[in-house]
Amino acid sequence: MRAAPTILHLDMDAFYASAEQAAKPSLRGKPVIVGGLGPRGVVATASYEARRFGVHSAMPTAQARRLCPNGAYLIPRFTLYRAVSDHVMALLRELSPLVEPLSLDEAFVDLEAGGAAYDTASARAAGERLRADIRRGTGLSGSVGLAGSKMLAKVASEEAKPDGLLVIEPGTERELLAPMPVRTLPGVGPATGDHLRRAGITTVGDLAEAGEDELVRLVGRAAGVGLFRMALGLDDRPVVAERDAKSVSVEDTFDVDLHDRIRIRYEVQRLADRCVQRLRASGHSGRTIVLKVRRYDFSTLTRSETLRGPTDDPAVVREAAGRLLDGVDTTGGIRLLGVGVSGLTDYTQEDLFAQSLTLAAAPAGNGGDSGAAGAPEALEEPVTEGAAPEAPAAPERRWAAGSDVRHAVYGPGWVQGSGVGRVTVRFEQPGSPPGRVRTFLVDDPELEPSDPIPLVGRPADGPA
C-alpha cells in the first residue's frame, strides 16, 4: 500500500457501444448493443441507454432483443476499437513507462514511476488531464480511479462510472469498502458470492469481521487469505508494464451447426486468412498453429501443429489448419471453429516461403497434436481427367448490421439491416449530422465493404 493515491485505473465507458455512437451520429443518445447478432450471439457491450432496459454484457443477444426491441444491434468492429485503444494507451504512456493494459479499454498506470504524481493533488490533476485528453482525441469518455493499490484503484473507477473520477485516500479504505457487496472484490464471482451469502456474509465489512480463519474454513486457504486481505484494503501488487502478446486467434460461432465437411473446411480456411490478417497487423509471425472445434454437444477440442520456423504466410497457416481438421471427427455437427497462431516473434523465417510446396509433396498423414506434416487433401471429389474442377458458386453477399460500406454515388455509410435480397444503409460518418437512409439490392455493384473511418483526431462534439 502506498501513502499517496498514485496508482491510476482507467476504464473506458461502454467502450464498444460508445465508439459506435461516436462513429454513427444517428445513434447518439439511443440504446446500442454490440455483439453477436445470430441466435447464439452474446452481448459484448451495451450503451448506458440500453442498460436502462436491463441489457448487459455476456447476456444472450436473443434475450437482449426481448428486453430492448428498439435498440440498434451491431457487429463489433475491432479495427476501429483497436485504433482508439492505441491512441488511449499512448496517452497513458505519456504519464508513465509503467502501463499495464488489461484489455483494449482498461489499464493500470503507476503515476509515481513517470513522475506524473506524488500526492493526492497531483494525482487528481493527472487523472483529470487524462480524461480531457481522451475526450479531445477520440470524443469518448473514460472513468478514472486513483488509490494506493491496484485493487482499490479499480474499485474507485467502477464507483466513478460513467465519466467520472474518484480518489480513495490512503487510510480510508476500510470505511469505503465496508458497505460494498462482496462481489465488488476482484475474483469474487457468482458461485463464491452465493457461498458467502449462505454463510451470512454479504458485504466487504462482513468479510473483515468474519476473520481470516473463518474465511479459510469457508473457501479454502488461498482464497480465504486473499479475501481477508482485500477486505482490509491490502494489496501490494505492482503495476507491470505491457508484455508482448502470446498468441493471435479468431473464432466464429455458427447460427446453425455445420455438418457439411466441405463447408467446415471452407470456414477453417476463411478463419486462417482472418487470423493471418490480425497476425500481420500486430507485426508478428508465429510457429504454432492451433485449431479449436466446439461440437454439437458443447465438447471442445484443440489441436496444434508446430512449424519448423515462424510464418505469417496465409497459405502455410491454411494448410496447417486443414491438416489439423483432418484429425477431428465432425460427425454430429460443429457449432464453433477457431484458428490461432502462438509462439509469436517479430520476424519471419525466410525459407518458409516454400513450406507449402514442400508439405504438399510430403506423404499424406494427419497432423493431430503430434506436429506431423502430412499433405492436405488435394480434392474433396474425383475429377475427370483433363477437366478442371468446378468452381464453387459465389455466396450471396452478406451485409452485417453495423458494418462499414461505401457507395460510388453516396459515399461512406453503415449497414442498418438486410434481408429478402436488400440492404439498408445510412450515409453518415463521425462528425457529420445524422445521415439519410437508402435501400439497395444486396448485389448492387456500386456498394462495397469499406474500412472504418477513424475516430482518433476528430474534435469532441458532445458525449458519446
Q: Are 220 and 311 in a shared domain?
A: no
pTM above 0.75, yes or no: no
Look at residues 311, 326, 360 and tell me which one is the last residue of a structural domain.
360
Q: Are 108 and 153 in contact (CB under 8 A)?
A: yes
Q: Are 253 and 279 in a shared domain?
A: yes
Task: Specify whether 106 is catalytic.
Answer: yes
Amino acid 376: pLDDT:
31
Q: Are 300 and 216 in a shared domain?
A: no
Q: Which domain holds residue 272?
A: 247-360
Amino acid 350: pLDDT:
42
Amino acid 169: pLDDT:
93
Is 263 inside a domain boundary? yes
Q: Are 261 and 301 in a shared domain?
A: yes
Amino acid 395: pLDDT:
55
CA distances from 47 to 50, 166, 390, 407, 434 (A): 5, 22, 47, 28, 18
Q: Are 197 and 282 in a shared domain?
A: no
Amino acid 463: pLDDT:
41
Amino acid 222: pLDDT:
82
Nearest by Cα to 117 from 267, 8, 244, 237: 8
Is 462 inside a domain boundary? no
CATH number at residue 300: 3.30.1490.100
Q: Are 322 and 293 in a shared domain?
A: yes
Summarised one tens digit per residue, pLDDT across range 213-266 is 999 999 888 889 989 999 998 988 999 986 666 788 998 888 788 999 999 999
Q: Are 356 and 254 in a shared domain?
A: yes
Is 320 inside a domain boundary? yes
Q: Are 296 and 337 in a shared domain?
A: yes
Residues of the chain with pLDDT under 50: 350-391, 462-464
Amino acid 348: pLDDT:
54
Amino acid 374: pLDDT:
32
Question: How many structural domains comprise the chain?
Answer: 2
Amino acid 241: pLDDT:
86
CA atoms within 13 A on the CB side of 111: 30
Look at residues 360, 386, 406 and tell me which one is the last residue of a structural domain.
360
Amino acid 137: pLDDT:
94
Q: Are 281 and 208 in a shared domain?
A: no
Nearest by Cα to 299 from 263, 254, 329: 329
Is 445 inside a domain boundary? no
CA distances from 195 to 107, 220, 380, 387 (A): 30, 12, 54, 68
- Rounded CA-CA distance 408/412 in Å is 9
Catalytic residue among 106, 173, 305, 428: 106
